[in-house]
């Protein structure tokens, strides 16, 4: 996984690009009718039910726009919210509050939806030893915030990008001339470039799992698009030789059954690519 410093830099990049995109040369609406020295206060109002996420990110946005803005938090990241709840108050320059408003709302609505869905999946897995993972199927330019939301919802992060973990999927294996060739070439590449990265290899059937197990150094096997019975066979075949991960069209109706097959992880792109934003608004007090 990437370092905390790099993760923070990714978040700052999201904020800087969001402000650039939304404000450009200036918030002319506010500049036209709000005096520069006007002070105001606003509240973050919840108009939905779920898990709130993005409170700390909102603080980062407000600080970036205007360090003098003051935020009073009433409900923290990861807490359950309902319609009518007030998450925080922000006070200070009226122009600054309005500058930050849209980026705060867009971010928190998306992050809260992801945290809510992740939390739902986590609850479906209660009583098992299986953990839910996100994927790289994220909104371009907003990945760090979305993966943060998964953590807030109780899930775990898969690799952040293409550079912090080796993941040999079907296309890599086919282009490399087979699974064994792909693994051997990867281990040579890591050694030659002095890289310490975990290796995950995807399997499409039980024969491929058997082939993967012939190689040393595989951290986790991705059991992709297997049915329940074959997943159980795969887990038994793998044993304690490496970790296991199920993926491929797993939804809330099937996730528990896959967990009962004994896999260590289940990865789901739906955590980030198939959510409906939580309804939030920032209203002047």
- For residue 161, give both structure tokens: 């990008």
Active-site option among 59, 151, 169, 233: 169
Closest CA to 81 of 56, 60, 53: 53
Given a contact cutoff of 8 angstroms between Cβ atoms, the answer to whether 274 and 112 are in contact is no
Active site residue 283: no
Based on the number of CB atoms within 10 Å of its own CB, is 59 exposed (0-12), middle (13-18) or buried (19 or more)? middle
- Segments of 158-209 assigned E as strands: 166-168, 199-203
- In the structure, how many helices (H) and strands (E) does the chain have? 11, 12
Phi, psi of 263 (to 5 degrees): -70, 150
Active-site option among 202, 208, 220, 245: 202
* CB contact set of 226 (below 8 Å; sequence gap of 6+): 205, 234, 246, 248
Active site residue 204: no
Active-site option among 101, 208, 224, 245: 224
Based on the number of CB atoms within 10 Å of its own CB, is 262 exposed (0-12), middle (13-18) or buried (19 or more)? middle
Active site residue 236: no
* CB contact set of 35 (below 8 Å; sequence gap of 6+): none
Residue 284: enclosing H or E segment and its boundaries? Answer: strand 280-284
- For residue 163, give both structure tokens: 């550079």
Active-site option among 102, 131, 187, 204: 102
Active site residue 202: yes
Active site residue 143: no
Active-site option among 137, 232, 233, 256: 137
d(CA 166, CA 218) in angstroms, rounded, equals 10
d(CA 162, CA 151) in angstroms, rounded, equals 20
Catalytic residues: 102, 137, 169, 202, 224
């Amino acid at each position: 996984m990437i370092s905390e410093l790099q993760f923070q830099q990714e978040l700052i990049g999201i904020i800087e690009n969001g402000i650039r995109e939304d404000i450009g040369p200036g918030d002319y609406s506010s500049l036209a009718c709000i005096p520069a020295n006007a002070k105001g206060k606003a509240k973050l109002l919840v108009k939905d039910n779920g898990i709130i996420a993005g409170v700390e990110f909102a603080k980062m946005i407000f600080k970036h726009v205007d360090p003098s803005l003051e935020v009073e938090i009433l409900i923290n990241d990861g807490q359950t919210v309902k319609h009518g709840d007030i998450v925080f108050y922000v006070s200070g320059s009226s122009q600054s509050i309005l500058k930050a408003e849209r980026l705060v709302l867009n971010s928190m609505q998306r992050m809260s939806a992801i945290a809510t869905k992740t939390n739902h999946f986590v609850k479906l897995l209660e009583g098992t030893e299986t953990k839910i993972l996100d994927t790289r199927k994220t909104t371009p330019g907003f990945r760090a915030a979305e993966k943060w939301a998964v953590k807030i919802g109780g899930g775990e992060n898969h690799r952040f990008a293409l550079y912090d973990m080796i993941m040999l999927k079907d296309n890599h294996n086919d282009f490399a001339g087979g699974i064994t060739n792909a693994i051997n070439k990867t281990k040579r590449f890591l050694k030659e470039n002095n890289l310490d990265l975990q290796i995950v290899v995807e399997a499409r059937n039980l024969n491929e799992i058997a082939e993967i197990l012939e190689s040393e150094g595989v951290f986790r096997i991705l059991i992709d698009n297997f049915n329940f019975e074959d997943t159980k066979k795969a887990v038994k075949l793998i044993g304690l030789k490496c970790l296991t991960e199920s993926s491929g069209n797993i939804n809330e109706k099937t996730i528990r059954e896959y967990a009962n097959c004994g896999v260590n992880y289940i990865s789901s792109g739906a955590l980030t690519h198939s959510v409906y934003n939580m309804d939030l608004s920032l209203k002047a007090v």
